[in-house]
Amino acid sequence: MLRISRFAILCALFAAAPALFADQVTLKNGDRLTGTIVKSDGKTLLLKTDFAGDVTLKFDSISAIKTDKELHISTSDKKTLVGPVSGSDGKLQVATKTGPVEVPAGNVALIRSDDEEAAYQKSLHPGLLHGWNGGANVGFSLARGNSETSNLALAINAVHPTLNDKTTIYLSSIYTNNDLATPTEVANLVQGGIRYDHNLTPLLFAFVSADFVSNALQDLDLRQLYAGGLGWHAIKSDNTMLDLSGGLDYTHETYSNGTLITPPTVPLTYTSYGVTNRFIALTFEEDFMHKFDKGTTVLTEKLNFLPDLSDTGQYQGTFLLGTVTKLGKWLGWQNQFSDIYVSNPPVGTKKNDLILTTGLNFSFTH
């Protein structure tokens, strides 16, 4: 009988062992949860449990907390405390190495586990070769028979975000060929650029950018745009982002819209008619992003407007609207619509170029 009792006690201890070494959270309604406290922003607390997965709790619904592992506590008065946490009735006690420190629950700004704190510290200084994320888009179509066309669309976008700044690099290309048309090259558009944003305050940021465009549809050999200015984070959350920015832009562009000719006096020497523009313009930009279905589908929209300061009434603009829907961990389906507008294109070309692309998206992180 005694052996059975000891065996039962040992079984009970082994069964209770996970709870003994787990963080415990007691709610005001009497419910008690065990797991690992991951993080808190002072409004909600994320608890990782073995059987229910990640559970998000309202911070003000918690009546008591007890942890065995260290937590990193940031208070509203800019203090940082590290140690196991216990407490109830609106007061937390952090067992720091120099002694216990009591903190009112209402003064807690952030709570991070060791892993979350390590990830946060790494995000402050990720290094130039680390912390990149983005994707590559590929779309292709081919037609034979009454028409002989081929279309290839490629795009690469990469973002390097840190706590205080963000670097963005992009490159896209669209090429369409029609063997039954004259000329056979129907579309040939290449765009690329780099942009750097730096936060001056939580809502205000400064930016510089360089963009390059070549567009055969408008006889544009090369457009170079160098811009800088200030922006405002109108909306900034995990699921929604809206940035508004404005500044100055310097544009240098070269059009080639004439046929090649051979001067009679200089055989085998060719020249072409063309136009070169240099001007300073204002730049206004609106950048929007929203995640649907917990990030399964991401909607992006961007509007850029550049009124010419040297020739009032002339302007350029670009509108982009796209979606990426996840099909797997790194595979998705992308759709993008773009409108490229120039108010004073060369003679014989149109002001608007409307482009719709669709295809596969390959995401990456580094």
Residue-wise pLDDT tens digits, 178-229: 777 666 766 788 999 999 999 999 899 999 999 999 988 778 889 999 999 9
H, E, C per residue of 26-66: EECCCCEEEEEEEEECCCEEEEEECCCEEEEEEHHHEEEEE
Per-residue pLDDT reduced to its tens digit, 138-174: 887 777 766 677 888 889 999 988 878 899 999 998 8
CA distance 334 to 320: 13
Per-residue pLDDT reduced to its tens digit, 302-324: 999 999 998 888 899 999 999 99
Per-residue pLDDT reduced to its tens digit, 219-250: 888 999 999 999 999 998 888 999 999 999 99
The pTM of the whole model exceeds 0.85: no
CA distance 287 to 242: 6
Domains of the chain: 15-124 (no CATH), 135-365 (2.40.160.40)
